[in-house]
Amino acid sequence: MTTAEQETNTSRALRGLEDGRSSVRLRAALAIGSNPDERCVEKLIERCAIESEFFVREMLTWALTRHAASMTVPGLVAELRSERAQARSQALHTLSKIGDRQAWPAITRALLSDGDEEVARSAWRAAAVLVPEGEQPELAGVLAAQLGRGGRETQLSLSRALITLGEAAVLPVLHAAMTDLDPRVRHHAVATERLLRDPDAGFESAIEEAKRVAALQDRPGGA
């Protein structure tokens, strides 16, 4: 392919990212990922912040992972300070896929407790991937402060992130949470421990089992 042809294809793909049709945006992201060009990185990141279609966002993330981390990570880290929740969540998601631990310092406690659940869930996943060796116990403590938060999908995301950190890091904080005054925290902690020991257990059944155990323990005389 000649330089002129490359220029034409890049220009066409960049225009495609702005098209009103999601199918065109999808093909544009695919084209950029198939032929990485550092000139497209900024536009890919910008599009992640506003793209309405999930499958297109996933293709944008894939296209970014096809470029060198040195080209993508700085821009994605900058997005973590955006006021737009989608910009933060998609940047976190993409950083977790890239897996470059240079991004670790940018995964702040504020992001891990973000008021937007999609941002928080993405931050939990990214943190579990990027955490440096030896810092898992501290991260487990930070994540455990979110036990009991949200609905089933949010709680399952947190459980999976905690389990990723390993038994040695997670069990102490789960056992501490099992004595929390909030029953939602206790149930979530028990369910997470069950999933840690039996990854094939379903989260719903783990929660129900946690409730049964708690009910028995709360009876006079306890189980």
Each residue's pLDDT expressed in tens, for the chain with a length of 223 residues: 556 666 677 888 999 999 999 999 999 999 999 999 999 999 999 999 999 999 999 999 999 999 999 999 999 999 999 999 999 999 999 999 999 999 999 999 999 999 999 999 999 999 999 999 999 999 999 999 999 999 999 999 999 999 999 999 999 999 999 999 999 999 999 999 999 988 776 666 666 766 666 565 555 555 4
Neighbours of 162 (CB within 10 A): 29
DSSP state of 134: T
Q: What global pTM score does this model have?
A: 0.88
Tell which residue, 187, 139, 145, has the closest CA to residue 163: 139
CA atoms within 13 A on the CB side of 174: 24
Q: What whole-number distance in Å separates Cα of residue 218 and Cα of residue 17?
A: 57
Domains of the chain with CATH codes: 10-130 (1.25.10.10), 136-223 (no CATH)
Q: What whole-number distance in Å separates Cα of residue 117 and Cα of residue 121?
A: 6
Q: What whole-number distance in Å separates Cα of residue 65 and Cα of residue 88?
A: 17
